[in-house]
């Protein structure tokens, strides 16, 4: 309804009143909507026969992927698949949908959302659903080591990994850097890479980089390309030393162009690591799409896009998130995301 009102240049609430809509989030295929001031009684007109499902141009989706994604070979995490992750911290629903319920209940919800993406990304691409755990959470309290990061207990992490292995899901262990260096921040996560479905992420927002900074996130942090490259080297060396299969995803969050300094110097050539840059931030479709298009281009190795169930207004559809359909007033995703995060 928001998009329709914007396109027509009318007030959304007036449009809802004119059509006697109790809930602006619910409209149906085939429903006839009337402009405010129309004398035609509002109502629902069913089509004489079911409308065909939208045709997904799989070739166009693939053509809009980054070169790295188009060239991904068997064994790559992104070979002919779209990742779909549920983000959060167990037991803390406000941090994301993953923390809203027990692992098996969340798995059922995740599979339903993954099925919607499987329909939206066409017959040539599958979907890889994943738990996206906030493994290292930035805290105002400094903690025993003074680094302002609280890591999940190993037993909790292992519980999610075990469920994921049984359910054929991936797991991303996400670290909000705090007072650590980026390479230090992932050290506790490395042993979990013994499981073939485990991958890593770092969040520059909570890196404490300013002199005298009291706690993470104030001001917003950043990482340098050299630091990200060091994290990749640490991952790659650990995988090689332990004789563990790769490549594994390393996801780096961003919602401002200042959060990865000297981004052009990122090294995406390590065979053990699939470097993936995410575009975060909530807001309107226009704001989210234009930000994504500004931060992701053909030089990006693999791309991710974050959506917020509770804060995006309105929430982009699966087809809009993949760039199959425009999000608002003709604005559409440019580079096809390889990974979609729901918080």
Q: What is the pLDDT of residue 28?
A: 75
- Stretches where the chain sits below pLDDT 50 are 38-51
Largest Cα span, the chain: 74
Q: What is the pLDDT of residue 227?
A: 98
Q: What is the pLDDT of residue 21?
A: 75
Q: What is the pLDDT of residue 7?
A: 64
Contact of 204 with 177, CB cutoff 8 Å: yes
- Please give the torsion angle defined by the CA atoms of residues 318, 113, 313 and 102, in that order, rounded to the nearest 10 degrees: -160
* pLDDT, tens digit (0-9, with 9 covering 90-100), for 24-79: 677 877 677 777 754 433 443 333 344 455 567 778 899 999 999 999 999 999 99
The pTM score is 0.84
Q: What is the pLDDT of residue 37?
A: 57
Q: What is the pLDDT of residue 30?
A: 66
Distance of CA 194 to the CA centre of its chain: 24
Q: Where in the chain is the domain with CATH 3.20.20?
A: 58-342
| CATH class assigned to 58-342 | alpha beta
């Amino acid at each position: 309804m928001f998009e329709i009102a914007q396109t027509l240049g009318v007030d959304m609430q007036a449009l809802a009143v004119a059509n006697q809509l109790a809930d602006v989030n619910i409209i149906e295929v085939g429903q006839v909507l009337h402009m405010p001031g129309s004398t035609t009684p509002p109502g629902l007109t069913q089509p004489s026969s079911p409308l065909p499902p939208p045709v997904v141009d799989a070739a166009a989706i693939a053509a809009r992927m980054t070169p790295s994604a188009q060239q991904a070979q068997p064994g790559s995490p992104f070979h002919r698949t779209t990742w779909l992750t549920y983000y959060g911290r167990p037991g803390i629903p406000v941090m994301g949908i993953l923390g809203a319920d027990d692992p098996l209940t969340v798995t059922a919800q995740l599979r339903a959302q993954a099925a919607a993406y499987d329909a939206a990304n066409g017959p040539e691409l599958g979907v890889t659903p994943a738990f996206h755990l906030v493994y290292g959470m930035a805290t105002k309290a400094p903690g025993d080591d003074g680094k302002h990061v609280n890591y999940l207990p190993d037993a909790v992490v292992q519980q999610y990994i075990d469920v994921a292995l049984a359910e054929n899901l991936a797991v991303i262990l996400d670290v909000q850097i705090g007072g650590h260096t980026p390479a230090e921040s992932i050290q506790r996560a490395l042993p979990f890479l013994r499981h073939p479905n485990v991958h890593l992420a770092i969040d520059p927002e909570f890196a404490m980089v300013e002199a005298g900074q009291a706690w993470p996130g104030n001001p917003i942090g950043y990482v340098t390309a050299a630091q990200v490259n060091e994290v990749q080297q640490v991952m790659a060396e650990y995988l090689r030393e332990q004789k563990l299969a790769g490549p594994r995803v390393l996801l780096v969050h961003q919602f401002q162009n200042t959060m990865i300094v000297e981004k052009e110097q990122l090294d995406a050539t390590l065979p053990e690591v699939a470097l993936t840059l995410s575009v975060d931030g909530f807001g309107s479709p226009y704001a989210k799409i234009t930000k994504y298009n500004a931060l992701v281009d053909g030089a990006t190795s693999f791309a991710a896009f974050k959506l917020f169930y509770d804060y995006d207004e309105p929430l982009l559809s699966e087809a809009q998130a993949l760039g199959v359909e425009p999000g608002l007033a003709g604005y559409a995703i440019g580079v096809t995301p390889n990974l979609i995060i729901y918080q």
